[in-house]
Chain A
């Protein structure tokens, strides 16, 4: 019963919240999509928290994603012990970076009065859940060896069964409690994701890498008037909408050349 609740109902409830609220918030309260950086108030301790945290979590999440997408390839890769050791220790390293990062970030929130002033209840909840998640992850990595293999062999089939809308708990039933908690906590994180500052990861500015430096927004259609950009010579000098959606909605884009 409890298994059905946390491994079937919870994930679907979380996924629904994740999708519906994320979109609804983006459309209705797009303004609130911000990193909510507190670096302006405190920068030194942030460095020791934010940098290891972000590197660690990106690495760890990427690892989970690869395992989810290519389980058989991961198992094949792990067939050679040396490769398995490398993969496991890389994973552990990322996990430890997360741990160092999240502990520093929590300590910073607790000790700096300025940072406390900009801490909301959701922030606290997010920090607690993330800490639990990372601590469990590192614990599992240390005490239940070769996670990269058994993750691919037993957790992934369960996750995939969720996506296939045919939840199948067989494979995860024998997993240790710590692993189960790790999974449940992940669902909780997904559920509060759209209510928290975590949404900033959806607006990561990758398109910056190829957009032209200068952006000009015109009242009138410049592209029709002329066809060149002054600087940089090789690119169009950009097009952005005055408000709202990103990227600029096509068709109604303001040409800026």
Chain B
């Protein structure tokens, strides 16, 4: 049977973290009452004129540089004309043609141990639309708070070959955006939206298949699942002798399937033309160089440094650098506790696990990097056992107390007093003569039983190494 491969290109819209909108001074705060963040400009009132937000232009140029793009020396705003009630001017100010702010860049991703470069076709600036709500069959309402919010569009080349690669591309892109501080990357709130276009072709074929566009992917999970589903669907269509049609499909989160939205048989006529209300953006080489030099350390650079400096595996480095906040957290803890791998294990395991379960961001963690380092110190110097450490962590996570204080308060210090542990062990041996005989007879699995009984009797505080040693002594005698 023919094997198929997927060809995926990503179109990502990132809402910029500017305090005001793209062409007016209105605030961009999320969740304000409808139509309270509007003015003549973003309502498109007659006579109003747009004035570009310099910060937004700078954000896009910096992102383009971080994506290894060329910066167009002269970049133009175009009008994209179409009618929709959420579009107050009857056109959207966007960019078009061969002079977006950035073009011809790439992102490096690592999937399955393979490093791949995914091409970036363009990186440009545009404005968001309002939001239309159908409140009843007779009534629709429009909220223009989002109208005119600065959006960055990043379009990749169709270089991605699997849902996993697409997800990793998005993870890396989001990391870059959050590192630069240009977007908060919150997919669930819609500040980062991705619309992949997907086609399949027989493996080895150079020609592209017919692509579909996928919308409504509001989480990384939805991105993976949606793309996987769409690839399988297309392969099934072709295997059944059918043809994929060029359409937009929508990911249905509750049913976990894709469903067709509208046919794209004829291209919509947008009548793009340069916006005469706006003057070209001119980027001088000096300005571009200044921006380039002031870029922060980016996720990929940080990953490589983490591997080098802390001796971490690539996998750890990748996860720890997904957000700047997480990377900073790790580095702060690693600066206080010498065993970087142990820090990495605890951050990736306990900390991220608990944060995800509680839907919290790293910035909301009550466990500080100092606290985590302190906890690991207590384990390393034998004050508490690894098992107790997990309980202490849980308490830290909930209350935010320092680990030393918790250990003190609850008397969790490890029992390393040989005499006390020997007494406990002997009592347990006396109470379980059958098991003891079996162990002596060579049933070594019972070692665990006796150590476990001691741990239970000491509420986990017994030094497990010491208990093991005592047990061996008694078996040998």
Please determine whether chains A and B interact with each other in the same assembly: no
